[in-house]
Amino acid sequence: MTTHELSVSKHYAIQDLETRVLAALEAAGKDLEALSIEDLAPIDAFHIRGRAATEELAGRVDLGPDHLLLDVGCGLGGTSRYLAATAGCKVFGLDLTEEYCRVAEMLSARVGLADRTDFRQGSALALPFEDGHFDVVWTEHVQMNIEDKAGFYADIARVLKPGGQFAFHDIFADTEDGLRFPVPWASDASLSHLITVPKLRTLLQESGLVFEHWEDMSEASMSFFRSVLQGDGALGQQPLSLNLLMGETTELKFTNLLRNLEENRVRVVQGVMRRGT
């Protein structure tokens, strides 16, 4: 792991995460011996617009029981579990933070999805899989910490089968101006590496990927943050809140991300690409 990757992993790591997650579930009245993926949703869908965004993107992708999917930057494995449960596919989750992978394995076992999910610690710049292995590669809010964007997208294209799909929901720069920090993925500029949307489109095409679906979700993302910050419970004192994963600065990070969107410093894009045959 490089020095930068160690810094990124440290940014996301949480001490005693497994104990804290189980305690929060119990405090929320969940039966730890009979958990469902819906019980985990408040912390599992750790991205803008939560589970709704995952459901939308999944509806744009060809997925079935015979398919293999790679979830790059899987975090606690929430999206991996949702896709395995709803599409019946086998999902491999990869994350830089080893603690996330351990908790993801534990949660999958508790919801009965251990046979359809497999979590591994590793770098998104050196995917530990052979060429042409996956039907779908999926990312949600991952590349913001990765400086080598060309290497990132090229390796995703490499592990896709010919005709396979790359689905993403991510945050990109709208201008070359700096951001307001902290934000969820970075405390300061040293961990944040955003590219503009035009540069993204060029890199995807240079990686051999063809456009299938492209949608700017910035307005919907702003509505989401306004709702959360006005007190829908996600930042409140509920045991299963995003504070569990982001700490006491959660509200500040969300406020700054909303302002970055409002000030046209960042954009949120949802897209599906297909590897050429």
**Looking at the DSSP assignment, which residues form a beta bridge with residue 272?**
167, 213
Three-class DSSP category at 53: helix
Q: Inform me whether the pLDDT recorded for 234 exceeds 80.
A: no
Residues 164 and 215: beta-carbon distance below 8 Å = no
Q: What confidence tens digit (pLDDT) does each residue in 50-103 have?
A: 899 999 999 999 999 999 999 999 999 999 999 999 999 999 999 999 999 999
Cross-sheet strand order for the sheet of 117-121: 117-121, 90-95, 68-72, 134-140, 160-173, 266-275, 209-216
d(CA 101, CA 93): 8
Q: Which amino acid is at 102?
A: R
Ranking 12-21, 72-81, 179-188, 243-252 by mean pLDDT, the lowest is 243-252
d(CA 128, CA 159): 9
Ranking 196-205, 232-241, 266-275 by mean pLDDT, the lowest is 232-241
Q: Three-state secondary structure along 135-162?
A: EEEEEECCHHHCCCHHHHHHHHHHHEEE
Q: What confidence tens digit (pLDDT) does each residue in 165-196 have?
A: 999 999 999 986 789 999 999 999 999 999 99
Ranking 198-212, 213-227, 231-245 by mean pLDDT, the lowest is 231-245
Q: What confidence tens digit (pLDDT) does each residue in 119-172 have?
A: 999 999 999 999 999 999 999 999 999 999 999 999 999 999 999 999 999 999
pTM of the model: 0.94
- Per-residue pLDDT, averaged over 110-121, amounts to 97
pLDDT at 11: 87
* Residue 198, preceding peptide bond in cis (omega within 30° of 0): no
**Do the strands 117-121 and 134-140 form a parallel or antiparallel pair, or are they unpaired?**
unpaired
Q: What confidence tens digit (pLDDT) does each residue in 37-50 have?
A: 999 988 888 889 98
Q: Which residues contact 142 (CB under 8 A, 6 or more apart)?
A: 72, 73, 124, 170
